[in-house]
Chains A and B, each alone.
Chain A
Amino acid sequence: MLAALCVLTGVALAQGGEPVPSVTVLSNVQAADPIEFETTRLLVENMRQLGLDVEHQAIPWEQQSELVWFNRGDWQMTAWRMVARPERMDPDEFVFNLFHSSTAENGYNFVGYINPEYDALAEAQRSETDPEARRQLVYDAQAIIAEDVPYVFVAHPQLPFVVREDVWDAETVVDAQGIGVKNFWTWIGLEPLGDETTIITNTSDVVQAVNPLYISGDADSRVTELIWDRLMRIGPDGLPQPWAAESVEYLDDVTVEVKLREGMMWHDGEPVTVEDVVFSFEATQSGESPMYQPFGSRIGSIEIMDESTVVFTLAEPWAAFEVASLSKVNLIPQHVWEPILTDLADVDENAEDFQEEIPIGSGPYKFVAWQQAESVILEANTDHWAAPAADGWVMRIIPNAESALGQIQTGELNFLTEWEGDAEVLAQTAEADANLGIYASADLGFRFYGFNTRLAPFDDVAMRRAVAHVMPRQAVVDNIFKGFAVPADSYVSLAIDYWHNPDLPQYEFDLETARQILLDAGYTYADDGTLLLPAD
């Protein structure tokens, strides 16, 4: 298939004046993701105006990801999305993984973007520990991607959340930069106004696991970050701050001294020790926790200095160490996990398959129950140094969006953390009820179209730029997102001011500009309006 395509384009280029190869744009199906489907329909129509022969192919997400991810020579252009996660507040993950050439074959650079100049920047920002210098590198990296257009950026969605303000003090809702109000700081800070003291949230997805050594779904991560502490946490300002660590101090570029907070206890009553800390980081490298492996991989060694101090020695300077490692790795009790990991060493299964009966962490909430397809129930850990103001935290699994909307109105839910329906409907409902407060803020995540830069016609940067000019961002934000989004121009979100390059080219929506770009690059139009390849 790939060979055939190459031959075809080769022939076409040699002869010149041939029509541009036909294009298929992939998206999710309408029922599963109406926003992506509608946006794609609009974009495809505009691409036809350019004289391209374009087909919109809507397929279920599982098939789309299979094709894009595992069959990298068999697709041309696809709708895609990245979601917000606290650790993505540091630009490293996106800057490196999305476009570095080393991830083109099997990793996240599925568009196959290869540029040595970009590679150098991506590597340099990774080990540059001076924030100002690193920011310039990240700016430059964004500028290159904006020039070369391997992605057409669409928007950063604003996810709406609804809080019952007759139950919770609105003053204590924390809006974390790039994440919104559904975050750790809100869960420990919410102050009850009356007798109802349990935070009741919702998710539409099932809970896959409650496991500190496994990164499963978004819903699952809301639970794990409450049960397990980390040495640092990403604060509401988007920057890492000491958490289970009393202090984090750089002795030099590769030596970091961490003092552990005193008096912390595991939920089973055992004390949290520096040995537990070392064990937690070593567990990521045990081979039993593949998903956490990258978050500890560049630590050379960890040394215990005294009963509250450890020193990390990094294998090389690592700018994102605080965000991607200290704020990421869950602290787990050695007395619980050491025997488990020992047993797992001899079998095919690893720690990702293991589910503790009663998960034990040291975090501000304790595990009570996980009822399959129904709920996860946590209670406040009143012994924690940052004990929550609420008495409990519940996540109900509600697959029906309309039902979730009804439940926030009746009070069966008091914090709507997921809304799959129309954002406008939710806003109207909240406005009509004085007890409901709606919160929406720009998100780190973004939606975009990825070009397969390995294949014609998107191996040509002029073609990619032309398509970028026919993506009507503002219209999509206004009409399809119903205003609940901001137009995107980079993979670093506007929500993180510090890293977002403010001077990127904007690719205004303009059919004429797009046509001119193609004509300048040598493309021509046949009498019937069909776009023809450059003749050379």
Chain B
Amino acid sequence: MSRDVLFYIGRRLLQSLFVLWVIITILFFFFRLAPGSPVAAYIDTTFTAEQEASVMARFGLDKPLHMQYFIYVGNLLRGDLGDSFFYGDSVVGLISDVLPNTLYLTLTSLMIAYLAGVLGGIFLAAQRGKPVERGGIVFTLITRAAPEFWVGMILLAIFAFQLRWLPSSGTGGATTIYASEVEKLTSPEFWRHMLLPMTTLALYLHGLPLLLMRSNMLEVMDQDFITMGRLIGYGERRLMLQHAARNAMLPVITALALGVGYSIGGNVVIENVFGWPGIGRLLVRAVSSSDYPLAQGAFVIIAAIIVALNFIADVLYSLLDPRVGSSAAARAS
């Protein structure tokens, strides 16, 4: 590993930390500028002025804003995201309860969507100009444009309420308790419950890789090395799958990496339609009840994961392709 590459990695690390600090600071002030007070969630007929003051003091809301900020950043550096105003529990605990559900749902949906998208894209490119291609594109555009809640409700109405093949809500039956994540993942009941939300999400997500793959394929198929292959006498199938598809897939993989980042924020709409206990619902509730610690904590964790993924991707690129590290470092300085 050259000095240049090490220098580049160090630089990117500092940049990432700076970006995180900016995000944390913006989040902190952003939530406090928003209207609504966390104490409003506690209003009751039996509430007195002293009780209100004690609630404010307990949350530290009686201190000046800049003091609140320093306390918050100080706690963050120790890995303490604080306690939720609303639940009283630790933010880390609350998030770790639901983050796995979000990951199971979105990662499987993404996998299915990208697998189907890539294969569909190749297929449609091969059917260029035929009615099948036109039909396929129209179908894809419809699934891409249709609101997720609408698709979700239709699937619910058909498969859960009319045919009654699948359950409609939650990650298990009414009395089901999963003792561990492993037990959850190995339970057929869990997968039965996930089928409808997963299908809804995959239907929505598959449009992007499909259209991207199709247009890349068409572009690559026009390039010289493919023409060369044809001249050599390779079959069309071998050319498409072994030569064109490999090259056409690179931008799709970039899109997938971004998609993973976005999906960690959860899918509020789908979580609401299917009663899926994920991070999206937790976040919405936290924001609407001015639960600063929980909302900030969730955003900070999401931001940290995305920044970290970006950093890792950059490091991997620089290791795989020396041009990235040295030239980028040289250009930047």
Q: Which residues of A contact B (CB under 8 A)?
A: 60, 62-63, 65-66, 69-70, 82, 93-94, 97-98, 105-108, 198, 200, 206, 208-209, 215, 290-291, 293-294, 348-350, 352-355, 368-369, 371-375, 377, 392, 394, 396-400, 402-403, 406-407, 409-410, 412-413
Q: Are B49 and A105 in contact (CB under 8 A)?
A: yes
Binds A, one of B133-141, B156-164, B242-250: B156-164
Q: Are B169 and A398 in contact (CB under 8 A)?
A: yes
Q: Give the complex CA separation of A219 and B67 in angstroms.
A: 36
Q: Are B40 and A198 in contact (CB under 8 A)?
A: no
Q: Are B177 and A62 in contact (CB under 8 A)?
A: no
> Size of chain B's interface in residues, with CB distance under 8 A?
55
Binds A, one of B3-11, B82-90, B203-211, B324-332: B82-90
Q: Are B177 and A215 in contact (CB under 8 A)?
A: no
Chain A residues lying within 8 Å of B58, measured Cβ to Cβ, are 348-350, 353
A-B pair number, CB within 8 angstroms? 144
Q: Are A400 and B48 in contact (CB under 8 A)?
A: no
**Across the two chains, which residue of chain B brings its CB closest to A409?**
B161
Our pick among A70, A354, A397, A410 for the contact of B275 (Cβ within 8 Å) is A397
Given contacts A93-B46, A105-B49, A400-B274, 5 further A-B contacts (CB under 8 A): A60-B36, A97-B46, A353-B83, A373-B282, A377-B174
- Given A291-B46, A350-B58, the answer on whether A200 and B169 have CB atoms closer than 8 Å is no
Chain A residues lying within 8 Å of B170, measured Cβ to Cβ, are 374-375, 396, 398
- Given A93-B46, A369-B177, the answer on whether A60 and B88 have CB atoms closer than 8 Å is no
**Across the two chains, which residue of chain A brings its CB closest to B57?**
A348
Chain B residues lying within 8 Å of A400, measured Cβ to Cβ, are 169, 272-275
Chain A residues lying within 8 Å of B43, measured Cβ to Cβ, are 65, 69
Q: Are B40 and A65 in contact (CB under 8 A)?
A: yes
Q: Are A410 and B47 in contact (CB under 8 A)?
A: no
Chain A residues lying within 8 Å of B282, measured Cβ to Cβ, are 372-373
Chain A residues lying within 8 Å of B87, measured Cβ to Cβ, are 208-209, 355
User: What would 13 A/B residue contacts be, using CB atoms closer than 8 Å?
Assistant: A62-B37, A62-B288, A107-B45, A206-B281, A215-B44, A293-B51, A349-B88, A372-B98, A373-B277, A402-B153, A402-B156, A403-B273, A406-B156
**Across the two chains, which residue of chain A brings its CB closest to B167?**
A412
Q: Which residues of B contact A (CB under 8 A)?
A: 35-37, 39-41, 43-49, 51-52, 54-55, 57-58, 83, 86-89, 94, 97-98, 153, 156-157, 160-161, 164, 167-172, 174-175, 177, 271-275, 277-278, 281-282, 285, 288-290
Q: How far is the CB of B260 from chain A (nearest CB, A)?
A: 22
Q: Are B37 and A70 in contact (CB under 8 A)?
A: yes
Chain A residues lying within 8 Å of B52, measured Cβ to Cβ, are 106
- Given A209-B87, A400-B273, the answer on whether A107 and B171 have CB atoms closer than 8 Å is no
Q: Are A209 and B88 in contact (CB under 8 A)?
A: yes
Q: Are B54 and A412 in contact (CB under 8 A)?
A: no
Our pick among B45, B55, B156 for the contact of A108 (Cβ within 8 Å) is B45
Q: Give the complex CA separation of A71 and B98 in angstroms.
A: 37
Q: Give the complex CA separation of A377 and B174 in angstroms.
A: 8
Our pick among A65, A98, A373 for the contact of B98 (Cβ within 8 Å) is A373
Q: Give the complex CA separation of A350 and B274 in angstroms.
A: 35
Q: Are B164 and A410 in contact (CB under 8 A)?
A: yes
Q: Give the complex CA separation of A93 and B44 in angstroms.
A: 11
Q: How far is the CB of B307 from chain A (nearest CB, A)?
A: 27
The SS class assigned to the A binding surface is mixed
Chain B residues lying within 8 Å of A291, measured Cβ to Cβ, are 44, 46, 51
Q: Are A62 and B289 in contact (CB under 8 A)?
A: yes
Q: Are B272 and A399 in contact (CB under 8 A)?
A: yes
Q: How far is the CB of A257 from chain B (nearest CB, A)?
A: 27
**Across the two chains, which residue of chain B brings its CB closest to A395?**
B174
Q: Are A403 and B168 in contact (CB under 8 A)?
A: yes
Q: Give the complex CA separation of A413 and B274 in angstroms.
A: 15
Q: Give the complex CA separation of A354 and B153 in angstroms.
A: 38
Q: How far is the CB of A188 from chain B (nearest CB, A)?
A: 19
**Across the two chains, which residue of chain B brings its CB closest to A368?**
B177
Q: How far is the CB of A246 from chain B (nearest CB, A)?
A: 29
Which 9 residue pairs across A and B have the least CB separation, nearest first? A62-B36, A373-B277, A106-B49, A353-B88, A406-B161, A65-B40, A374-B277, A97-B45, A108-B45
- Given A62-B290, A106-B48, A294-B46, the answer on whether A403 and B275 have CB atoms closer than 8 Å is yes
**Across the two chains, which residue of chain B brings its CB closest to A404?**
B169
Q: Give the complex CA separation of A401 and B252 in angstroms.
A: 38
Chain B residues lying within 8 Å of A374, measured Cβ to Cβ, are 170-172, 275, 277
Chain B residues lying within 8 Å of A290, measured Cβ to Cβ, are 51, 54-55
Q: Give the complex CA separation of A352 and B54 in angstroms.
A: 12
Chain A residues lying within 8 Å of B89, measured Cβ to Cβ, are 355
Q: Are A66 and B47 in contact (CB under 8 A)?
A: no
**Across the two chains, which residue of chain A brings its CB closest to B87?**
A208
Chain B residues lying within 8 Å of A98, measured Cβ to Cβ, are 45
Q: Are A62 and B35 in contact (CB under 8 A)?
A: yes
Our pick among A106, A349, A412 for the contact of B168 (Cβ within 8 Å) is A412
Our pick among B94, B168, B277, B290 for the contact of A371 (Cβ within 8 Å) is B277
Chain A residues lying within 8 Å of B49, measured Cβ to Cβ, are 105-107
Q: How far is the CB of A224 from chain B (nearest CB, A)?
A: 15
Residue of B89, B169, B281 with most chain A CB atoms under a 10 A cut-off: B169
Q: Are B40 and A108 in contact (CB under 8 A)?
A: no
Chain A residues lying within 8 Å of B172, measured Cβ to Cβ, are 374
Our pick among A200, A208, A350, A373 for the contact of B174 (Cβ within 8 Å) is A200
Q: Give the complex CA separation of A175 and B329 in angstroms.
A: 75
Chain A residues lying within 8 Å of B97, measured Cβ to Cβ, are 372
Q: How far is the CB of A401 from chain B (nearest CB, A)?
A: 10
**Across the two chains, which residue of chain A brings its CB closest to B281?**
A373
Our pick among B83, B86, B274 for the contact of A403 (Cβ within 8 Å) is B274
**Across the two chains, which residue of chain B brings its CB closest to A98?**
B45
Chain A residues lying within 8 Å of B167, measured Cβ to Cβ, are 412
Q: How far is the CB of B42 from chain A (nearest CB, A)?
A: 8
Chain B residues lying within 8 Å of A412, measured Cβ to Cβ, are 167-169, 174
Chain B residues lying within 8 Å of A368, measured Cβ to Cβ, are 177
Q: How far is the CB of A377 from chain B (nearest CB, A)?
A: 6
Q: Give the complex CA separation of A374 and B276 in angstroms.
A: 7
Chain B residues lying within 8 Å of A208, measured Cβ to Cβ, are 86-87
**Across the two chains, which residue of chain B brings its CB closest to A110?**
B43
**Across the two chains, which residue of chain B brings its CB closest to A62?**
B36
**Across the two chains, which residue of chain B brings its CB closest to A287?**
B54
Q: Give the complex CA separation of A354 and B39 in angstroms.
A: 18
Q: Give the complex CA separation of A374 and B172 in angstroms.
A: 9
Q: Give the complex CA separation of A206 and B288 in angstroms.
A: 13
Q: Give the complex CA separation of A107 and B43 in angstroms.
A: 9
Our pick among A94, A108, A354, A372 for the contact of B47 (Cβ within 8 Å) is A108
- Given A206-B285, A400-B273, A403-B275, the answer on whether A377 and B177 have CB atoms closer than 8 Å is yes
Q: How far is the CB of A68 from chain B (nearest CB, A)?
A: 9
Chain B residues lying within 8 Å of A350, measured Cβ to Cβ, are 58
Chain A residues lying within 8 Å of B168, measured Cβ to Cβ, are 403, 406-407, 410, 412
Q: How far is the CB of B147 from chain A (nearest CB, A)?
A: 14
**Across the two chains, which residue of chain B brings its CB closest to A377?**
B175
**Across the two chains, which residue of chain A brings its CB closest to B290?**
A62
**Across the two chains, which residue of chain A brings its CB closest to B83?**
A353
- Given A93-B46, A107-B48, A374-B171, the answer on whether A63 and B275 have CB atoms closer than 8 Å is no
**Across the two chains, which residue of chain B brings its CB closest to A96?**
B45
Q: Are B157 and A406 in contact (CB under 8 A)?
A: yes
**Across the two chains, which residue of chain A brings its CB closest to B160?**
A406
Chain A residues lying within 8 Å of B164, measured Cβ to Cβ, are 410
Q: Give the complex CA separation of A400 and B270 in angstroms.
A: 10
Our pick among A107, A198, A353 for the contact of B175 (Cβ within 8 Å) is A198
